[in-house]
């Protein structure tokens, strides 16, 4: 593959775990378990292909409404994944971040997430961003509240302050310092954004495949990247201006 066509940042909405399981007459949990394996493969493939950032939607602010046993299973899966995978990621010089409203998770899970983030903080080979209890609207709301707090705390308060800039909002998102995704992949053929990275995907190329997330592998990732390589990214300009 042509290296110049490799996106620096890929974001994925990992959808279809439930359908994968249902097709096989298995409980939804089995789909999530296989989904975790797909994620492991995607991280490895990104490393091999030179994709610097991989951001995945693991749990949304709305996912708490799923049946209690499914939520419980997912929490257990996150814990297990941290216990089993983080040391390997660290050895491979990958930095992991858990981004979202982490304070709603159990103390144990929060501590593990913090541990994984601290351990891998200085790693430079690649970045895995796992969005958990994440919502795009929640993130923007949190950013605005951070900015307002800063204003209220400053001398003279809000009255004398200049307008809020895009840069300020960006600098208060959970993804501060991470470049915007070049490519957004959604599996299981849903044509929706589902409250994922609303701010950051303004100019991302979108690729939807009918492959279910547990079946998504390196070959499928390469297909998505090849399709991305054919797109013309114009960022609001005309085709002629880019030449």
- Which residues are identified as catalytic? 15, 63
32 makes contact with ligand FPP (CB under 6 A)? yes
| Angle of CA points 217, 221, 225, to nearest 5° | 170
Q: Does 201 bind ligand FPP (CB under 6 A)?
A: no
Closer Cβ to ligand FPP, 7 or 31, answer by number: 31
Among residues 7, 9, 12, 15, which is the contact residue for ligand FPP, using CB under 6 A? 15
String of contacts with ligand FPP for each residue 150-189, x by CB under 6 A: --------------------------------------x-
The DSSP string of 204-223 is: -EEEE-SS-GGG--HHHHHH
In the complex, minimum distance from the CB of residue 58 to ligand FPP, in angstroms, rounded to a whole number: 4
Angle (CA) 154-160-163 rounded to 5° is: 95
**Is residue 61 involved in binding ligand FPP (CB under 6 A)?**
no
Is 95 a residue that touches ligand FPP (CB under 6 A)? no
Q: Residue 134 gets which letter from DSSP?
A: B
Phi, psi of 15 (to 5 degrees): -110, 150
Q: Which residue is nearest to ligand FPP (CB)?
A: 18
- 46 contact partners, CB below 8 Å, separation of at least 6: 10, 54, 126, 221
Q: How far apart are CA 4 and CA 38, in angstroms?
A: 25
Q: Rounded to the nearest whole angstrom, what is the least distance from the CB of residue 83 to ligand FPP in the complex? A: 11
* Residues within the interface to ligand FPP (CB under 6 A): 14-19, 32, 35-36, 39, 58, 63, 77-78, 81, 130, 188, 213
């Amino acid at each position: 593959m042509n290296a110049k066509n490799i996106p620096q940042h890929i974001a994925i909405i990992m959808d279809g775990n439930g359908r994968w399981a249902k097709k096989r007459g298995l409980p939804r949990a089995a789909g999530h378990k296989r989904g975790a394996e797909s994620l492991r493969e995607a991280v490895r493939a990104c490393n091999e292909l030179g994709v610097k950032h991989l951001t995945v939607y693991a749990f949304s602010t709305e996912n708490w409404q799923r049946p209690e046993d499914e939520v419980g299973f997912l929490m257990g899966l996150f814990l297990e994944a941290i216990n089993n995978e983080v040391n390997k990621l660290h050895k491979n010089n990958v930095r992991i971040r858990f981004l979202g409203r982490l304070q709603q998770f159990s103390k144990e899970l929060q501590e593990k997430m913090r541990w994984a983030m601290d351990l891998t903080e200085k790693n430079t080979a690649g970045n895995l961003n796992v969005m958990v209890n994440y919502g795009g609207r929640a993130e923007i709301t949190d950013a605005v509240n951070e900015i307002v707090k800063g204003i209220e705390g400053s001398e003279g308060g809000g009255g004398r302050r200049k307008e809020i800039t895009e840069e300020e909002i960006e600098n208060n998102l959970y993804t501060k310092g991470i470049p915007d995704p070049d490519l957004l992949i959604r599996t299981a053929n849903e044509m929706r954004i589902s409250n994922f990275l609303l701010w950051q995907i303004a100019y991302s190329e979108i690729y939807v495949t009918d492959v279910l997330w547990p079946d998504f592998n390196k070959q499928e990732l390469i297909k998505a990247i090849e399709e991305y390589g054919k797109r013309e990214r114009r960022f609001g300009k005309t085709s002629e201006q880019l030449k």
